[in-house]
Amino acid sequence: MSVRAAERAIRLAAALGVVLVVAGCGVKEAISADSQPEQSLVNRFHSELDQQHYAAIYADCDPILRQNVPEARYLRLLSTVHRKLGTFRSAELRSALTSVNPKGTFVTLEYSSKFSRGTAIEGFAWHRLTGGSKLAGYRINSDELIR
């Protein structure tokens, strides 16, 4: 390959990289905007977690979650999260995905979260309904939870 052809290939690759970065940003913004109601519900979840309103969180969950996770087990999970990680500080949205299946529309959000005594990766699955979204799943990964 000649030097001139190599230079053209490098310029083309750089231009393509810029296009992909710009296109990727637009997609993230569209996804983030689509999940805005659920992102607000995540803020409410953390507020209720800090106030130790575990039963209220469970009562407001989607039937999908309540049918599969006994209340005592869920309350124990939330209590452990609050006891070991402490007060919620901040979260950065890592990914947002909206999907549709025969059971309905679901919005899945993943966050890098900071608490007063540690960090975690949190996942929220929201079942989007006519009257608003309900929490259908919650997962959390943190080294502090296993110490």
Asked if pLDDT for residue 135 goes beyond 90, the answer is yes
Distance CA(36)–CA(49), nearest Å, equals: 20
Q: What pLDDT is attached to residue 72?
A: 98
Q: What pLDDT is attached to residue 65?
A: 97
Q: What pLDDT is attached to residue 69?
A: 97
Mean pLDDT of the chain: 84
- Which secondary structure element, helix H or strand E, spans residue 118, and what is its range? strand 118-129
The band of 8, judged by pLDDT with boundaries at 50, 70 and 90, is low
Range with the poorest average pLDDT among 3-7, 69-73, 102-106, 143-147: 3-7
Distance CA(65)–CA(82), nearest Å, equals: 20
Q: Is 36-146 a domain of CATH 3.10.450.590?
A: yes
Least Cα distance to 96 among 42, 19, 142, 22 occurs for 42
Q: What pLDDT is attached to residue 32?
A: 52
Residue-range domain boundaries for the chain: 1-34, 36-146
